[in-house]
Amino acid sequence: MKEFWEARNKRERWLIVMAVLSIITSVPFMFTPTSGLTKALLPANVARQKYQQAVEQNKEMIVDGKRMKQKLSEWTFHSNPDALIPQLIDSLQKQSVKGGVHLIEIRPLRTIQNDKLAMIPISIRCECPFDKAIAFLYYLEDPSSKMVVDRVDISSSGTNANVVDMNAQIAAYTQTQ
């Protein structure tokens, strides 16, 4: 062995030492199983069932997406947000008459635009009996008005316990193309 070692130059000896060290360090890894890599594949029938379930779920999601697009089209306006504000104010006034509420303030807020939708918020303020305020909010939430109540603050307005001061933020959505 000594003759074999002395017959090698310095570079060959270094390569032999490195090869031996790499073999010594890799032997334990060869005999210890790893938990993630030794798992067997699913049987063919189970894999086929899971695939069919995934396909069915995908079809259901596509149908739901189409249904939601149709509902979205029904519940939103299809006009320019700036041109829609006077129509919304007129609708708010009609709803307030229907609900028996006098609107003190109607203030359009800045439009929030997304890729396909624009939200048009409108702030309103009124003083009225509590039951009429709630009825007015229900009239606004009617799907035919295409408006939603985004935020409501109701507080007592003074000595009369039945009269409340209501601040609300109403929003309407329009599709932008």
Whether 122 has a pLDDT exceeding 90, the answer reads yes
Q: What is the pLDDT of residue 51?
A: 94
Longest Cα pair distance anywhere in the chain, in angstroms?
A: 113
Residue 36: per-residue pLDDT: 58
> Are the beta carbons of 153 and 167 closer than 8 angstroms?
yes
- Tell me the pLDDT tens digit for each residue of 80-121: 888 889 999 998 998 888 888 989 999 999 999 888 889 999
pLDDT: is 99 or 61 the higher one? 61
For residues 122 and 91, give the distance between their C-alpha atoms in angstroms, rounded to a whole number: 12
Q: How confident is the model at residue 142 (pLDDT cuts 50, 70, 90)?
A: confident
Looking at residue 2, what is its pLDDT? Answer: 76
Q: What are the structural domains, with CATH classification, of the chain?
A: 2-74 (no CATH), 81-175 (3.30.70.60)
Confidence at residue 58, expressed as pLDDT on a 0 to 100 scale: 96
| Burial bucket for residue 51 (CB in 10 Å: 0-12, 13-18, 19+) | exposed
- 26-40, 44-58, 61-75, 159-173: the lowest-pLDDT one: 26-40
